[in-house]
Chain A
Amino acid sequence: MQRIGVFVCHCGSNIAATVDVKKVVEMARLEPGVVHAEDYQYMCSEVGQAKIAAAIHEKHLTGVVVCSCSPRMHEATFRKAAEKAGLNPYMVEIANIREHCSWIHKNIEEATEKAVILARAAIAKVNLNAPLKAGESRVTKRALVIGGGIAGIQTALDIADAGYEVDIVEKTPSIGGRMSQLDKTFPTLDCSACILTPKMVEASAHEKINIYTYSEVEKVTGFVGDFTVDIRKKARSVDMTKCTGCGVCQEKCPSKKAPSEFNRGLNNRSAIYTPFAQAIPNVPVIDREHCIKFKTGKCGLCEKVCQAGAIDYTQKDEIITEKYGAIVVATGFDTIKLDKYDEYAYSQSKDVITSLELERIMNAAGPTKGHLERLSDGKPPKNMVFIQCVGSRCSDNRGKSYCSKICCMYTAKHAMLIRDKYPDVNVTVFYIDVRTPGKNFDEFYRRAVEDYGVNYIKGQVGKVAPQPNGQLLVQGVDLIDNKQILMEADMVVLATAIEPDPSVRKIATMLTASIDTNNFLTEAHAKLRPVESPTAGVFLSGVCQGPKDIPETVAQAGAAAVKAIGLLAKDKLMTNPCTAKSDELLCNGCSQCANVCPYGAISYETKLINDHGIREERRVAVVNNALCQGCGACTVTCPSGAMDLQGFSNRQILAEVDAICR
């Protein structure tokens, strides 16, 4: 029988205002195994921890239950305290009576009853706990950054500057990401390329940074400190060691009908291409879907004109396997598809564009060489309408419930730039709210309104109707003057919501990093661990974690780098002892556990088993504790119950359920 101490925390008034903590103490005393119970204002404080240590010594406790906040908050704190007092840290369990109880209930009686039940479940579990011992694992001193946008580049640079090797994996032919598509950046209106390209060059020239472009992460195994990653280097069809980047192949390529991804499909590119002039590496790729040589076997013009002999049609995808200690996800974003927003006529009119498309139109290297013109007839616009929150802050399920955060600022930027360069163009912005918190942000927006005469209308647009004369009839509402508005526009720009790049789902699955319902990667703690994934060794950089602008992205990129460096600086890590264990006498050898194990931690051995007089050779499951991450998938798959998770055994969990259902 255990000797259990129960410690009930008030958490100031966080718990004590809703839960009768004295009652919880009193009820806990009645539970089997409990020899000590007390409450205190702040259990996590030094005094609180000293109370636990004192009880462990005086009452010879073998198990501890702390009724407090979520174990994600302070489990480590209390386990450390218990360990200092001589108790095995895994003999400590937390009953979460704050997040699971006091914060979500109002009625004191009900909340107290629930707190008692939660305490009872934790006590029932501790009664079956056994001491566990953590092992050690090594740390590979190399980091992987997935995504080569500004977030990935900055993270890589910071990690590399600390002296660690970094690989960047970028799926497109060049690093640079979304930022490379932008024309100017708010609130200072620097040219995006002017501030980004030096970073790109620095990353590519850095001796500690290795860049895999046109590559994707294919498979991830292992765990914090010791990941093994397969990277698929897609066939470029151009030998990177020979290509001089002269660009003749792109000029001569007769297939020029592929929509340019970089210009958001507003114009076409050749089948052999670099996405943009400052691409790094400056080595083109052949888009095999559009290449005549690959489609028909004829052509081969690029090979003929290439002086360096770099064209290689026989190139195949290559799998590179590398080991990493830390992985930073920086997969960025894309704009949402607008197929559910027919009212804005995006698919009907070429003159209804997204803001990202406007960035390309405004850019000197864009499809119109930087001239503001209608894509339908090339005429300069006289009246432009910007519609905010297209798909953001959406209450139905057509769009996103969240605020995309960057749109208010870039719309003010667009409006200002247009008024500055083309003062005769009237610019109207329809908005729900203008949100401009940030250093020099509100001043920036006010300049657009006050100095540049941008017409801001609070209200939404219900319909954009293309007219036979090529004009766009915009039907909106002015909520301040409380009137309907009908105006003609030559161009309409939609501040389209941003969403995590679709590739993140696959990557999150490979990393077993959790994502929320909007596909943003979840932080380990929303406030206190914002750049770490709950999956150890995985860090988050940029918009993959949530909408943010460039300065925030760069700041987070640096923070993610610091976290990665902190990990890489260690020589050894303590491993989680809560791993699966197979009872060889019960194992059927059916392989189902090995099939579901995401870590490849289960293998099979043939063993001579002596089971109650039956001696036979049996195929039994064996768990590699270094690989097992304790996810428990095997334990629920095993039909015979041979697989069990240490620290979360079937018996312990059933005991908790029984304690709750008593």
Chain B
Amino acid sequence: MQEIINRAKELLADGTVARVLGWRIGDLPYNPEPSYFETAEDLEKNFVYDGFCGANLSKYMIEGSKLEGKTLVFLKPCDTYSFNQLIKENRVDREKAYIIGVGCKGKLDVEKIKAQGIKGILSISGAEIEGDAETLTVNTLYGDKTVAYKDAMLERCHVCKGKEHMIFDEEIGESKDTKDADRFAEVEKIEAMKPEEKFAYFQKELSKCIRCNACRNVCPACSCRKCVFDSTKFDSAQKANADSFEEKMFHIIRAFHVAGRCTDCGECSRVCPQGIPLHLFNRKFIKDIDEFYGDYQAGADAESKGPLTSFTFGDVEPGVTGGRR
């Protein structure tokens, strides 16, 4: 972490960048917050980069691109996909970003620690990105507990996209490919359900939604200047009321809006205070796209047209054939 801070201070000092976009120590040991840093002192005192820095900073560069001068932004390997996708959609300015690809060995989900019956968390050690990151020691009101690092990882890290940064100016730190699960296993389970079971499943999950908009606000693909759900120009705003039908409407519309653009960064599920597995909607679209048009990873580059916004004569016609590739 110190290496990252030192490099950020250098880039600030020599005027390469006007500010640093990173993670600030939060009020609890497991919730650092995305933040700008403009001075060396602030960086030294408040900057943090550890296993809890799951937040994807790509989206903040939409506003960052409008600021004077360059912004130093730290991106983990999977965050770089979102950044590429935003470049593709002309939402961020590559020239305004100085990208340091930071190492990642899997990010942590405090809910998974709590789910193991651990309460009264005071501090957690072992979440630093140095070392092998195998065990977490959780200091609680009731004494020290240990948790295997792997058992506390975010769902998305079990389907890790790999340790390569897709875009960067320089790289600091080692990364680890933490994939140990099948990305589409959950989707396949739902696909195999009978329609009534599927409906019941989504009814159960989506009825937890409190329409806090956290999923939308954090989503790098949900980057519209004015969201259709916030605009008076459409009738969709009312479609998002929290009754049993319309709450589903919100999530389904959102999944359609990000289809083909979602990089599967998993931020929606990470921030959902109700623990709804929102990423499954997006992953269903990704699975379908892969099957219809061949494997595609949004954000793998910043130039190509996505399969839903391009046409080739070889495209399958799901509407006609119902067929997969």
Contacts and interface: CB of A to CB of B under 8 A. Distances in A.
A49 B66 CA distance: 59
Interface string B211-254: 00000000000011111100101111000000000000000000
A637 B309 contact: yes
Contacts of B228: 639-641
B313 interface: yes
A588 B91 contact: yes
Contacts of A610: none
Contacts of A595: 305-306, 309-310
Contact of A640 (B90, B227, B308, B309): B227
A475 interface: no
Contact of A588 (B224, B234, B310, B313): B224
Contacts of A509: 313
A138 B320 CA distance: 36
Interface string A587-614: 1111110011010000000000001000
Given A591-B90, A595-B305, A639 B224 contact: yes
A585 B223 CA distance: 14
A592 B89 contact: yes
Overall SS of chain B's interface: loop
B198 interface: no
Interface in A647-662: 650-651, 654-655, 658
Contacts of B310: 595-596
A506 B313 CA distance: 7
Contacts of A583: 233
Interface in B268-317: 305-306, 308-311, 313
A651 B90 contact: no
A463 interface: no
B324 interface: no
B233 A590 contact: no
A586 B258 CA distance: 17
Contacts of B91: 588-590
Contacts of A296: none
Contact of A641 (B231, B305, B308, B309): B231
Given A509-B313, A590-B89, A590-B90, A654 B224 contact: no
Given A509-B313, A595-B305, A595-B309, A588 B235 contact: no
B7 interface: no
Contacts of B88: 591
A537 to B, nearest CB: 21
Nearest to A658: B235
Contacts of A619: 90
A641 B237 CA distance: 12
Contact of B226 (A586, A598, A654, A658): A586
Interface string A364-389: 00000000000000000000000000
Contacts of B225: 585-588, 611, 640
B235 to A, nearest CB: 5
B89 A591 contact: yes
B66 A588 contact: no
Contacts of B257: 639
Nearest to B234: A641
Residue in A595, A637, A654 whose Cβ sees the most chain B Cβ within 10 Å: A595
A586 B227 CA distance: 9
Contacts of A650: 234
Contacts of B224: 586, 588, 639-640
Contacts of A639: 224, 228, 257-258, 261
A619 B305 CA distance: 18
B309 A654 contact: no
B234 A651 contact: yes
B102 to A, nearest CB: 27
A517 interface: yes
A616 interface: yes
Interface in A624-647: 637, 639-641
Given A596-B311, A639-B224, A641-B231, 10 more contacts: A586-B233, A588-B223, A589-B90, A591-B88, A592-B309, A595-B305, A619-B90, A639-B228, A641-B236, A654-B234
11 contacts: A509-B313, A517-B320, A583-B233, A586-B226, A588-B89, A590-B89, A616-B66, A640-B224, A640-B226, A641-B236, A654-B236
Interface of A: 505-506, 509, 517, 583, 585-592, 595-596, 598, 611, 616, 619, 637, 639-641, 650-651, 654-655, 658
- What 7 pairs between A and B have smallest CB-CB spacing? A590-B89, A595-B309, A640-B224, A639-B257, A641-B228, A589-B90, A592-B309
